[in-house]
Amino acid sequence: MSYEQRKGWGRGRGGRGGRGGRGFSSHHEGGSSSEGARERPPPHLRGRALGMWYARRQGPKSKERERLERAVVRMDESREQQITRLLNSVQAESKDVKQEPCSESSWWATENERNAAPPDIKLPVDIVKDAWDDDDDEKFSESAYGLSRVNASLDRRLKEELQDKTTDYRYLEMQRFREKLPSYSMKEEIIKMVERNQVTVISGETGCGKTTQVTQFILDDYINRGKGSACHIVCTQPRRISAISVAERVAAERAEPCGEGHSTGYQIRLQCQLPRKQGSILYCTTGIVLQWLQSDHQLTSVSHIVLDEVHERNLQSDMLMAVVKDLLKCRPDLKVMLMSATLNAEKFSQYFEGCPMLHIPGLTFPVKEYLLEDVYEMVKFSPKDSDCRPRTNRRFMQGRTTRPEKAEKEEIYRERFPGYLRQLQGQYSESTVRAVEYTDDEKVNLELIVELIRHIVLKREDGAILVFLPGWDTISTLNDLLMAQVMFKSDRFIIIPLHSLMPTVNQTQECITIDDVVHVIDGGKLKETNYDTQNNIRTMTAEWVSHANAKQRKGRAGRVKPGYCYHLYNKLRESLLDDYQLPEIVRTPLEELCLHIKILNLGGIATFLSKVMDPPLRAAIILAITHLMEMNALDRHEELTPLGFHLARLPVEPHIGKMILFGALFCCLDPVLTVAASLSFKDPFVIPLGKEKLADMKRKELSQNTKSDHLTALNAFQGWESAKKWGPRAEREYCWDHFLSSNTLKMLGDMKGQFAEHLLGAGFVSSSSPKDPKSNINSGNEKLIKAVLCAGLYPKVAKIRMNHKKNKTSVKVYTKADGKVSIHPKSVNVEETEFHHHWLVYHLKMKTSSIFLYDCTEVSPYSLLFFGGDISIQKDQDQDTIAVDEWIVFQSPARIAHLVKNLKTELDSLLKEKIENPQPVDWNDTKSRDCAVLLAIIDLITTQESGQAKNFNPSFPGRLF
């Protein structure tokens, strides 16, 4: 019996606790039916019990309705005959090779193949090359770095060049600035500590110069000692913009251009200005070093590695720290420096066996801090009734977090709160104590922030005011509140909203120009993503900041003169804040990280992850490995399969990588690469404040009725490409009219080129151009593109149910694991009521105020049948059915169902061969088995679906056709 038959969509989430009333019960208005008067629930039932009662009553009706509404898989007689002949022909050719039925949940492998060791495969040409590898350069042995690259003539030249700079006025001017930095007074101490120890932790406050100066101290010391050729320093940065800006700053301090073979350069994804190969400093993103490790496991071209901003604890930096810790054993000559904020420097020292620490004082002015009670007292503010929550009704965020330690702290807060209020009495006015008592901790009080800003403007020192808020909604609302005030409409004030969704062309530049911040308002919250392994869902909630976050925010106020920081949480809350935010590795899915571990030959996944500073939960590791095995990226021995090898080499998460491979195999490469780039980076849309509805309308216009967020982004990109052909002005106007970021669009174009390079190196395509005609034979086929998206995103599938009541149609969406969910408000499908098919695939599912599906696309039955999971053929009462993974069920005559299943078996066999021995499909040889099978599937996807989607408007600049 299928999942759908066993469980029934009518059950909703009644059985999962807390939401039983949100099932499928329909309410009829009065009257009677053939079944008699409507039965009423027992009067004693309340809440969840009442919901369960309705769910049980409605279940059988919903199951029957579901059965009757199933889509029918059709195939006209001529195509049925053609596919029958094709299958007979293919089976005749391979009659000596018995083919077992495929378990399509593994994409193409049979059960035996999944459980066996991976076959020998010919590895593709290594496409991740060392940035300095050149046939004319010195080659390095596995011996100590310093002994293999010493170049006496280069040493003399580097020393002469450095001495010559002492007469360069630009260098001398910069030198005077450098000497004022706190780090400069510790130059000799830093050099000695690095020289005497293999690992050093250097902590320092913002503005002390550690990022720009420490690397220069080491390089200049080597050059002055006549050993410059043995020094190549790599300094990792967590963000692209940081790598570029710091490199350019250091180059300026050395009175040189950045890159171009000089002493300083940078390398980030898709962009680089490389320095000379020896006697140099390279700033790069952490991911670049992880890429190098694929081809150079010992980083033989590096003498010093500086891991900067390690206190941020992102996924890549934690992984690199663990790799470097192991690397030190076979590279005793390698010097490692960890740059950290002061709060948790000791933790990094302990991780590296108690290595020495050195602290550099900051170049900051004193900052006076205020807490919530101080702010209330200062501005004489009383919360509105809507912003209050009486103590008797306080929930203190119970049940709002998936982290037990958070819930425990909320319980402690609740217990201590009455005593804390008594402490405030006598120190503050009664109105302040009452305001603290009735403050709603779950939201940031924007009215209070407006009053605080007014107070600062009228009664405090002049200077910029920087406000930290948790997300788009609060930023947008505060902007509206400020603009509604007459005083802030004056030319005296400039209000700059900063958020990734806002159309600020150069937000980084604007941040840099705000150099007079004196007042910081810390809203006390930040948006934090977590991963609920029990329910396999990401969550994003506004959490309290950590002490480290608060300290960082405070530091922005004291950079130019004494400042002020206003924290919008009380003293009791401050005492319960975490020291620092949870590292990303314990609150995010681990599939991509697991593939990195295997491609770098770092051993067993769980074994390696046990070595990181804060190991993730065992449940998260098991779930990631299970997902990768289901994708056939790992075999049962946790070794990479041929598919897993290719997915690991692509710089995207596995589902997107799989989509890219399918785009190459089905020759619809360019559009699929556009979608893949958008999903792995971000879509190009921006949302100007005050124009949200217009932006939504333009996005809907760009969707061209495709019922697809993915194709909407594709249309936007293609329209931008067309506009560019008419010149810069047309490009700017197109982006302005459609609320698009030209910088993001350019980044997506660059990423597409990188993906194509990977595919060329692996052998899947014959050109590095995403637009190569041979790779885009089927790029005009919208339905095939949707099917390829389904291939990559499966099993992220949701079911659409249409409700027709009182001449009004509404849409409800359900997933197998969660029951009823919601389409995210920014999706082009959020208000859609006319779908051709009843299924969506989506990129991301995240729980915030509800469970939302991000980036979804309507897909057809044939897309799910050919590119989904395991196919089963069953009979449900009087219906012949064909099901995918036993829960996506369609009506289908038995003979058609068997044809589809057999054709899919041939497709799986073909895909298996293509992955093990990558080569482009020869679409000119229509009589070949490969071409015949693929053409038959494409034909069915394109022509045999009921309710076919409309083609794009030919006059529209972003059309597919």
**Within-domain flag for 825:** no
Arithmetic mean of pLDDT, 418-428: 92
Global confidence as pTM: 0.81
- In sequence order, the 6+-apart residues with CB closer than 8 A to the CB of 720 are 684, 731, 734, 735, 740, 742, 745, 958
- Same domain (yes/no): 349, 400: no
- In sequence order, the 6+-apart residues with CB closer than 8 A to the CB of 898 are 873
Q: What pLDDT is recorded for position 496?
A: 83
**Within-domain flag for 613:** no
Q: What pLDDT is recorded for position 15?
A: 35
Task: Dig out the tokens for 345 from the structure.
Answer: 């420097």
Q: Given its phi and psi angles, is residue 124 left (phi above 0), alpha (psi -120 to 50 degrees) or beta? A: beta
Residue 410 pLDDT > 50: yes
- Same domain (yes/no): 355, 372: no
Q: What percent of the chain has pLDDT over 70?
A: 82
Residue 8 pLDDT > 50: no
Residue 437 pLDDT > 50: yes
| DSSP state at residue 439 | B
- Same domain (yes/no): 404, 469: yes
- Same domain (yes/no): 332, 379: no
- Same domain (yes/no): 373, 505: yes
Question: CATH no. for residue 512?
Answer: 3.40.50
d(CA 871, CA 433): 65
Digit-coded pLDDT (tens) for 474-512:
988 898 899 888 888 888 888 888 877 665 444 444 453
**Within-domain flag for 645:** no
- Same domain (yes/no): 355, 373: no
Residue 953 pLDDT > 70: no
Give me Rg for the CA atoms of the chain. Answer: 31
Task: Dig out the tokens for 847 from the structure.
Answer: 């729980």
- Same domain (yes/no): 332, 292: yes
d(CA 438, CA 428): 15
- Same domain (yes/no): 349, 432: no
When pLDDT is cut at 50, 70 and 90, the band that residue 215 belongs to is very high
Q: How many CB atoms lie within 10 A of CB 432?
A: 22
Residue 226 pLDDT > 70: yes
Q: What pLDDT is recorded for position 58?
A: 56
Q: Which of 360, 376, 401 is the last residue of a domain?
A: 360
Q: What pLDDT is recorded for position 341?
A: 75
Residue 581: HSE in the Cβ half-sphere, 13 Å Cα cutoff: 26
When pLDDT is cut at 50, 70 and 90, the band that residue 77 belongs to is confident
Domain count of the chain? 2
When pLDDT is cut at 50, 70 and 90, the band that residue 364 belongs to is confident
SS (H, E, C) 805-855: ECCEEEEEEEECCCEEEEECCCCCCCCCCCCCCCEEEEEEEEECCCEEEEE
For 257-286, letters b (16+ CB in 10 Å) and e give ebbeebbbbbbbbeebbbbbbbbbbbbbbb
Q: Which of 567, 582, 597 is the last residue of a domain?
A: 582
- In sequence order, the 6+-apart residues with CB closer than 8 A to the CB of 77 are none
* Structural domain range at position 470: 367-525+541-582
When pLDDT is cut at 50, 70 and 90, the band that residue 39 belongs to is low
**Within-domain flag for 663:** no
- Same domain (yes/no): 393, 262: no
Task: Dig out the tokens for 576 from the structure.
Answer: 């319960």
Q: Which of 322, 341, 360 is the last residue of a domain?
A: 360
- Same domain (yes/no): 194, 302: yes
Residue 400: HSE in the Cβ half-sphere, 13 Å Cα cutoff: 18
Q: What pLDDT is recorded for position 657?
A: 95
Please state the φ and ψ torsions of residue 877, each to the nearest 5 degrees: 55, -115
3-state SS of the chain: helix, strand, coil percent to 5?
45, 15, 40
d(CA 710, CA 675): 6
Question: CATH no. for residue 341?
Answer: 3.40.50.300
Digit-coded pLDDT (tens) for 513-563:
456 889 999 999 998 888 888 888 888 888 999 998 898 899 888 888 899
When pLDDT is cut at 50, 70 and 90, the band that residue 945 belongs to is low
When pLDDT is cut at 50, 70 and 90, the band that residue 51 belongs to is low
- Same domain (yes/no): 429, 552: yes
- Counting beta carbons within 10 angstroms of the beta carbon of residue 407, is it exposed (0 to 12), middle (13 to 18) or buried (19 or more)? middle
Q: What pLDDT is recorded for position 512?
A: 39
d(CA 203, CA 344): 9
**Within-domain flag for 617:** no
Residue 175 pLDDT > 60: yes
Q: What pLDDT is recorded for position 149?
A: 63
**Within-domain flag for 654:** no
Q: What pLDDT is recorded for position 878?
A: 80
Say if CB 949 and CB 705 are below 8 A apart. yes
Q: What pLDDT is recorded for position 845?
A: 93
**Within-domain flag for 13:** no
Mean pLDDT, the chain, integer: 83
Q: What pLDDT is recorded for position 552?
A: 85
d(CA 833, CA 801): 10
- Same domain (yes/no): 338, 458: no
Q: How far are the Cα atoms of 121, 775, 842, 942 from residue 780, in angstroms, in the given order?
A: 33, 12, 22, 11
Task: Dig out the tokens for 254 from the structure.
Answer: 């050395």
Higher pLDDT: 684 or 271? It is: 684
Dihedral (CA of 404, 406, 412, 417) sign: negative
Q: What pLDDT is recorded for position 336?
A: 97
Residue 195 pLDDT > 70: yes
Q: What pLDDT is recorded for position 773?
A: 95
Q: What pLDDT is recorded for position 48?
A: 59
**Within-domain flag for 688:** no
Q: What pLDDT is recorded for position 132?
A: 36
Digit-coded pLDDT (tens) for 672-702:
999 999 999 888 998 887 788 999 999 999 9
Digit-coded pLDDT (tens) for 818-840:
889 999 999 999 998 889 999 99
Residue 256 pLDDT > 50: yes
Say if CB 608 and CB 322 are below 8 A apart. yes
